[in-house]
Structure 1
Amino acid sequence: MDGIVKGIIKLNPLTEIILLISVSIISFTNEGIKMDTLILVIIAMISSCTGLIRTSIKALSIFAILQGIKYFVFPILPNTISAHFGLLVIHAPKLIPIFLVGQILIKTNSIRSIIYALKKIHLSDSLIIPLAISIRYFPSLREERMLISDAIKIRGVTGLKKIKVAVIPLLVTASNTADELAQAITVRGIENPARKTFVDDTRFHIWDGIMLALCIIMFFNARFQLFL
């Protein structure tokens, strides 16, 4: 699994969770392209400051491509094609800022910090435990898939046999990884009701205050159209 990304600013995990919820609500309650673009640009700037510059560039590029398809390609296509793919092109750009905030949350914090933030908002352990396992599970599974793919290339396997050789080890690895992560997180005492201490700095700093103020401003702008 990749290490924790560090940038010129560091946000509290709880602030990033609030930002994720705010962007999710605003993105799907807003219908204007100007507001969608503004939200994405703001989140891309925040993402770049936290160290995810390449991810921000990719998000902006995908957004620009989808908007180009929507406004320049769809008008010249037959209605049948536009009707089938229109929903994807219309709603996919709204998911990009949400995905970007999710990347900030996952890649700039350790799992224990995220768990601590979720406990601070009194989220149930029945939700925290599966979420913590999922955050660690998918990157681990991706690494295993890459290792299996490299092994297949080295052995020179091709054709349908390549699918067979890749799928079976991946399924076995997925099952084993899930069991190992569940056991590891249980051994660490996540279900222990006693109060836990954390080595990480969990205090709110000035950047957290700025982000919370930004969330409030975006809410008011989406509701009353103050700027756009």
Structure 2
Amino acid sequence: MKEEHIKQLITANPFHGTACLDPRCKGILLILIGFSSYFSGGEAVSFALMLISAIFISFGNGMGWAAKMLTAYVITAYLNALLRYISIPVFSVIMSVFGVTLLKLIPIAMMGCWVLKTTYMDDLMVSFQRIHLPQSVTIPLIVMFRFIPTLRIEYGMIRDTMKIRGICDTLREKITHPLSTVEYILIPLLMRCLKVTDELAASGTTRGLELEEKRYALNPVSFSPLEWIVTISWAFFLSALLLLGQTTLGNIILWRV
């Protein structure tokens, strides 16, 4: 009975809905959304892409993250709309380009972080092996997927250390005291990055990342008909958005101040 309970704890999957999709399906969707985000035209079309993407990840352990990114998108869009009423040479152009680029990146960042949070490394390794990716591509991708969450943990530990020492770590302090930000945050973070890379390399060697034998995962990894339906549906939807962006819908001004 105890062994069965341990087995259930090991094989229990905390993810549900769209988070349970095959890692290959998530990767394809990330590429499609990134391509569509950069080449979509018009405010209405771009917002439709952002909204549908947020709804999609909300059904897969990403409701809170989707709400945050959707709010950030709307705020950025309104701030970018304010630039229409500001005519400062050079500055207005630079900020306008920066705002548009940020609006293009938000859907990609939202989807990418969701994929990182809802994908197990073992499942990702198995899925890469099944599409016959070479080791020279698989290993850097796996290390990158593990490096980003680890870096976030390290940043949290640095912030905790700053609180213990009574050092304020607010956005205002970071802006008004840039040298202190470099001293207390960036330099320790860079030092930790060097150690983390060595630790991840040692961990990868221990786990046998360089071995070419067939790999297995606790969770079933297969590109089922559901993944095909989701991928094809997204491909048709994004193609329709790109086509609509070339029509009069692409000229609709959605954000007015």
In the TM superposition, 1:1-228 aligns within 5 A as: 6-9=15-18, 10-71=20-81, 73-80=82-89, 81-156=91-166, 164=183, 169-205=188-224, 207-225=226-244
Structure with the larger RCO, 1 or 2 (CA within 8 Å, 6+ apart):
2
On the 8 A contact 2:125/2:138 being kept in 1, the answer is yes
Q: Counterpart of 2:227 in structure 1: which amino acid?
A: D
Q: Secondary structure at the match of 1:100?
A: helix
Please give the alpha-carbon distance, in whole angstroms, between the structure 2 residues aligned to 1:223 and 1:152.
47
On the 8 A contact 1:16/1:104 being kept in 2, the answer is no
Superposition TM-score, scaled by structure 2 size: 0.77
Which structure 1 segments of 5+ residues have no match? none
Please give the alpha-carbon distance, in whole angstroms, between the structure 1 residues aligned to 2:208 and 2:129.
14
Q: Deviations over 1:34-60 (max 9, x none)?
A: 221111111101111001111101111
Q: Counterpart of 1:46 in structure 2: which amino acid?
A: F
Worse-superposed segment, 115-124 or 104-113: 115-124
Cα RMSD after superposing both structures: 2.6
Task: Quote the offset at 1:30 in angstroms.
Answer: 1.5
Q: Counterpart of 1:203 in structure 2: which amino acid?
A: S
Q: Secondary structure at the match of 2:17?
A: coil
Task: Quote the offset at 1:219 in angstroms.
Answer: 4.0
How has the CA–CA distance of structure 1 residues 162 and 52 changed in structure 2, closer, same or farther, with 3 Å as cutoff? closer
Worse-superposed segment, 58-67 or 114-123: 114-123
Q: Secondary structure at the match of 1:6?
A: coil
On the 8 A contact 2:126/2:216 being kept in 1, the answer is no
Please give the alpha-carbon distance, in whole angstroms, between the structure 1 residues aligned to 2:184 and 2:50.
41
Please give the alpha-carbon distance, in whole angstroms, between the structure 1 residues aligned to 2:76 and 2:167.
36
Please give the alpha-carbon distance, in whole angstroms, between the structure 2 residues aligned to 1:69 and 1:167.
28
Q: Deviations over 1:146-178 (max 9, x none)?
A: 223222322335887785465554333222211
Please give the alpha-carbon distance, in whole angstroms, between the structure 2 residues aligned to 1:185 and 1:173.
18
On the 8 A contact 1:5/1:52 being kept in 2, the answer is no
> Sequence identity of aligned pairs in percent?
25
Task: Quote the offset at 1:6 in angstroms.
Answer: 2.0
Which structure 2 segments of 5+ residues have no match? 1-12, 169-176, 250-257
Worse-superposed segment, 87-96 or 210-219: 210-219
Worse-superposed segment, 46-55 or 100-109: 100-109
On the 8 A contact 2:38/2:104 being kept in 1, the answer is yes
